[in-house]
Structure formats: C-alpha cells, structure tokens
C-alpha cells in the first residue's frame, strides 16, 4: 500500500478515535402523564433520560454505574436478548483499538494483498452490519426516544473508509502482479 493510502487510512483511524468520545446517541424520556407510574418503574430513569447524550466511551461507565438501568434499557432496544450487559459493555472500548490495530497491520503487512482484502472486507462489513441494525431498529419506544447522534455515523463512515482504502490497496496489488 502506498504512502498516500496509508496517510488517508491514518486520518480515518484518528477520526474513529475522536468520534469515540463524541455523542453517539441522544435520549429523551417521553413518559405519558396518565400511565407514567405503570411504565416508568423508576422516576430516576426519567430524570436520567431527559435530553441526555451518550458517547461510546461513556457506555461501559454508565452500564456499571448509577445510570445502569437507563443504559441497559437503551442497549435492549438494539438487542433485546442480550445478557451480562455489564461485562460485555467493556468491549465497546475496543472499537478505537480495532482501528489502530488495523492500521498497524497495514503499516507492517500492507504489501500482502490478502491482508488488504481482509481489512477491506472487515471495514465494509462493520459499516454495513451496524448501519443495517441502526436503520432497521425502531428507536422510538413508549418511554425512551433514542436518536443516533453524528458521532456514531462519523465512526461508521470512517470504518467504511478504512475498508474502501484497503480494497483499493488490494486491487492495486492484485493488478500490479499481472503486468
């Protein structure tokens, strides 16, 4: 992979690391007055959820802290059958680490077309899978209204960029061998 593609990939990695600390979701409590005591099991949840923004960095901290009920409800919107949320939430901190690891892999093994292909497929798959999940999940629940903030979209597009750059590197390596 040439220096320009590596530089562009580095920019995407920096974007991922920065966007990890920017808001990913916005939450607003929408508790109907007449049924609030039946739906909202806890008044604290409605206070916590009122116009709150959450970054990727904050997720495990909130899941394992005083905001645990709120975060678990938000996570269950995306994956209702999830268990051990408190333990699994720490994996989110691996998101920027994965981007750095992919860059280091390209830095040292960028001349291998299969490494480029693997990273390209992974980057595109992360973007496609998460985007599909976000677009097909009903984020307007009775109690909590969740909207995706720009930080998460920027992160996903940066992973797509890493994938596309790696696929370009793969194509360049593939076609340069046939000359």
Indicate the helix (H) or strand (E) that contains 11: helix 3-19
Residue 11: per-residue pLDDT: 97
Q: What is the mean pLDDT of the chain?
A: 85
Q: Is the model's pLDDT at 106 over the cut of 90? A: yes
Residue 44: per-residue pLDDT: 53
pLDDT bin (cut points 50, 70, 90) of residue 138 is: confident
Burial of 104 per CB tally in 10 Å (0-12, 13-18, 19+):
exposed
Q: Is the model's pLDDT at 166 over the cut of 70? A: yes
CB 72 within 8 A of CB 88: no
Residue 66: per-residue pLDDT: 86
Task: Give Cα separations from 76 to 15, 69, 71, 157, 167 (angstroms).
Answer: 28, 11, 8, 24, 34
> What values do phi and psi take at 53, rounded to 5?
-115, 145
Structural domain tally of the chain?
1
pLDDT bin (cut points 50, 70, 90) of residue 2 is: confident
Q: Is the model's pLDDT at 34 over the cut of 90? A: no
Full domain range(s) for residue 143: 3-177
Residue 141: per-residue pLDDT: 65
How is residue 159 written in tokens? Answer: 């992973």
């Amino acid at each position: 992979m040439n220096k320009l593609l590596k530089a562009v990939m580095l920019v995407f990695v920096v974007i991922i690391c920065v966007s990890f600390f920017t808001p990913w979701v916005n939450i607003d409590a929408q508790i109907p007055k007449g049924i609030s005591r039946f739906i909202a099991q806890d008044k604290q949840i409605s206070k916590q959820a009122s116009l709150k923004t959450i970054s990727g960095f904050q997720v495990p901290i909130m899941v394992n802290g005083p905001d645990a009920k709120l975060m678990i409800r938000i996570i269950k919107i995306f994956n209702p059958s999830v268990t051990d949320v408190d333990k699994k939430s720490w994996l989110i901190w691996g998101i920027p680490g994965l981007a750095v690891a992919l860059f280091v892999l390209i830095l040292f093994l960028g001349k291998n077309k299969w490494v480029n292909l693997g990273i390209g497929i992974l980057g595109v798959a992360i973007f496609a899978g998460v985007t599909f999940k976000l677009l097909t999940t009903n984020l307007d629940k009775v109690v909590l209204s969740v909207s995706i903030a720009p930080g998460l979209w920027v992160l996903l597009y940066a992973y797509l960029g890493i994938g596309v750059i790696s696929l370009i590197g793969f194509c360049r390596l593939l076609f340069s061998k046939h000359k």
